[in-house]
Chains A and B, each alone.
Chain A
Amino acid sequence: MEHSNKYIFIYSIVMVVVIAVSLTVVAVQLKPAQEDNIRIEKMQNILSSVNVSTADIPKKKVIDIYHRYITSVVGINHSGDVVENDAEKVFAIELANEFKKPADQQILPVYTASLDNGDTAYIMPLRGKGLWGPVWGYISFKTDFNTIVGTMFDHKGETPGLGAEINQSWFMDPFKGKTIFDQEGKFTSIQIIKGGAPDDNPHGVDAISGGTITSKGVEKMIFDNLTNYQAYINKQKKQ
């Protein structure tokens, strides 16, 4: 069937308008539910870095659990001073956006958690590059800002079975109890060692065989992000 040009133009205009309106309606209607999911996932990630698993807990309860464990949230700058006290605002900070700003305008979150055994842990977000895309995570320290309580890593699209293993417990668990400063107090960060870290290495964990670039990416991410927190950590240690 042949149609005139006029018909074709009107047809396409009407079609595009109808579809655009319906898509907008759907997007606006579903946005609150989608944003909740993202918030709750972030809470789950933060909690899992202090070894509180919320995987099998209904989403609604995660918020309560989060508020029970996380006692304070502050935003600091590169000089280690607290510049933002509003927990909601700091929670909304995305490191990906912060890293686009000049260093002196960046705000870095620090979450304080009060654990079941009465200890306090400080949680810092991490973000870096893997092989195919971004990797991110959280790392938590005891009050000495040296001993790792737990870590949580995730990735956008690392190779399944290889780099993607960074979010598995066999990779994350060995970080527990490792330290990021040597005996002289020099910053060593954590080395992710190909072929396996010796048991007596306080700063090393095993790399993933076949996932070298992702492993290196995680190592660099921890080093870079913790470097940003150096001033804050030094100030906290003096107190």
Chain B
Amino acid sequence: MSDNNKTKEREPMFSAKVLRLLKNPFNLENPITVQVLGICSALAVTVQMKPAIVMALSVTIVTAFSNLIISSLRDTIPSRIRIIVQLVVVAALVIIVDQLLKAYVYDVSKKLSVFVGLIITNCILMGRLEAYAMANKPWPSFVDGIGNGLGYGMILVIVAFFRELLGSGKIYGMRVIPQSFYDSGYMDNGMMILPPMALITIGVIIWVQRSKTPELQEK
């Protein structure tokens, strides 16, 4: 990566600025815990790890490519219809992802069912398009999309990890809590399967994150 740093006066592919775009969404600018975007799907698809990971990847792909497309078109898009143009691009990408899932990973697409369609209304997408892609070059926009998609995905996977572990005693579909625990009276917490506990889990994540990062604490 760093070999690119010396190439002429062009900005290097992975300059500090671009790397920051990739890193910030994981902490200081996390879409879910800091910007509070994309909460709806974070509650819905986090009962198990597998759909959470697929959802995270789908959102990452859609955010990255819609950012790339919108950023390349940003000088031609008439400002009066920019939101419509953004929506059309996002909707088209989401439909393509949905069709691909249906054709190649049918089981997963059944589990995600309506949530893939709901990527279209995922606030992260529109947020990144308006806030970043409309004003920046394609490459940084693409990286920004990947960063935000992954930052979103990270929270999804953390929430899904706890919900699956405590709710059904499994991780990624594999049983981790041994039968002897159940025999001696342990029970899966049915509450974890329901959406309210996802919200509480996200709340706990926000709490932990804020107490560890002074920049995020309001005075």
A residues near B (Cβ < 8 Å) are: 1-3, 7-8, 11-12, 15-16, 19, 22-23, 26-27, 30, 33-34, 37-38, 41, 156-157, 160-161
Contact = CB atoms under 8 A, between A and B. Distances in A.
Contacts, number: 58
21 contacts: A1-B75, A3-B78, A3-B80, A8-B78, A8-B80, A8-B81, A11-B76, A11-B78, A11-B81, A11-B85, A15-B88, A19-B88, A19-B92, A23-B95, A30-B102, A30-B103, A34-B102, A34-B103, A160-B47, A160-B193, A161-B167
Contacts of A7: 78
A23 B92 contact: yes
A203 B158 CA distance: 45
A22 B89 CA distance: 11
A23 B77 CA distance: 21
Nearest to A55: B107
Interface of B: 47, 75-81, 84-85, 88-89, 92, 95-96, 99-100, 102-104, 106, 113, 167, 190, 193-194
A26 B99 contact: yes
A37 B47 CA distance: 24
Contacts of B81: 8, 11-12
Chain A at the B interface: SS class: helix
Nearest to A157: B113
Given A11-B76, A12-B81, A37-B103, 15 more contacts: A1-B78, A2-B79, A7-B78, A8-B78, A8-B81, A11-B85, A12-B84, A12-B85, A19-B88, A22-B92, A26-B99, A30-B102, A33-B104, A156-B113, A160-B47
Contacts of B106: 34, 37-38, 41
The 5 lowest CB-CB distance pairs between A and B, nearest first, are: A33-B103, A37-B106, A161-B193, A3-B78, A30-B103
A160 B198 CA distance: 13
Contacts of B99: 26-27, 30, 34
Given A12-B84, A15-B85, A161-B194, A26 B96 contact: yes
Contacts of B88: 15-16, 19
